[in-house]
Homo-oligomer: A and B are copies of this chain.
Amino acid sequence: METATLLISCPDRKGILSEVTGFISKNNGNIINADQHIDSQKQIFFMRIEWDLNGFQIEKEKIKEAFKPIADKFHMDFSLHFSSEVQNVAIFVSKYDHCLYELLYRFKAGELKGNLKMVISNHEDLKPIAEMFGVPFFHFPKNKDNKLEVEKEELKILRENSIDLIILARYMQILSDNFVKQYRNRIINIHHSFLPAFVGAKPYHRAYERGVKIIGATSHYVTEELDQGPIIEQDVVRISHRDSVEDMIRKGRDLEKLVLARAVKWHLENKILVYGNKTVIFE
């Protein structure tokens, strides 16, 4: 079954839901999923609607055009996606391998629906793992002096491969503002703390020092400000005074890989709408 999905946000007004569903029904589309949300504080309407294209009376190529009058009427931001389109994906890593393994496994098992085109790293340590799974590995050594230079090469290879989504799977480098701008809301990072607690380096060490009783992990879109982008998913695990920093790092690994994998899955299935610095997840 091929489906189309509309992601919509606009100022809240009477009649939006009726017009959008009417558009699909009149054209003989069978709605499979519809989910909407109204931010009543900011009066914004959000919607994700997915329908079966089989029997739909508008050709795929013309749906966008046909929908435009409704979009204009309600001042909508919208995007249209087809289940037949699959995104191209690049994973960035440094030396930690647990998130990389998890992603490689899930792409291979078909749980994550995307073309995993490459693994990029500033170190060579994880090359054998990428190769185990038959994914091309590119080594781009980086330091403060050559960072922008190297990023140019990275951007070139990403463009050449039409990469749609970049996953930072415990990538220990900060991307430049220029890099981030070119992949706005298309770079997902995993931060090993329960944001906004412990922004920046060594969150487990700081959690240990503070004596917290629960630790967490956060997946978010990358913005120019470190660890400040829209949060996609978070999860936590209980710890106690018995847990050393090493225990926390170990327990945290299991969180990190799951929290990252969930965010990637939702992104690839067009289930995330970003607005302001927040996300709506149409799970």
Q: Are B194 and A214 neighbours in the complex by a CB distance under 8 Å?
A: yes
In residues 23-81 of chain A, which contact B (Cβ within 8 Å)? 24-26, 28-41, 46
A174 within 8 A of B: no
Q: Are B195 and A212 neighbours in the complex by a CB distance under 8 Å?
A: yes
Q: Could you tell me which A residues sit within 8 Å of B by CB distance?
A: 14-15, 17-19, 21-22, 24-26, 28-41, 46, 97-98, 101, 105, 109, 111, 132-133, 194-198, 210-214, 216, 230-236, 238, 240-242, 244-245, 250, 254, 258, 276-281, 283
Q: How far is the CB of A111 from chain B (nearest CB, A)?
A: 7
CA distance A209 to B244 in the complex (A): 33
Q: Which residues of B contact A245 (CB under 8 A)?
A: 41
Q: A24-B18, A32-B38, A281-B240 are in contact. Are A234 and B210 (CB under 8 A)?
A: no
CA distance A101 to B101 in the complex (A): 9
Q: Which residues of B contact A277 (CB under 8 A)?
A: 210-211
Q: Which residues of B contact A39 (CB under 8 A)?
A: 241
Q: Which residues of B contact A283 (CB under 8 A)?
A: 242
CA distance A216 to B237 in the complex (A): 13
CA distance A29 to B15 in the complex (A): 8
Q: How far is the CB of A49 from chain B (nearest CB, A)?
A: 9
CA distance A17 to B258 in the complex (A): 35
Q: How far is the CB of A29 from chain B (nearest CB, A)?
A: 8
Q: Are A101 and B105 neighbours in the complex by a CB distance under 8 Å?
A: yes
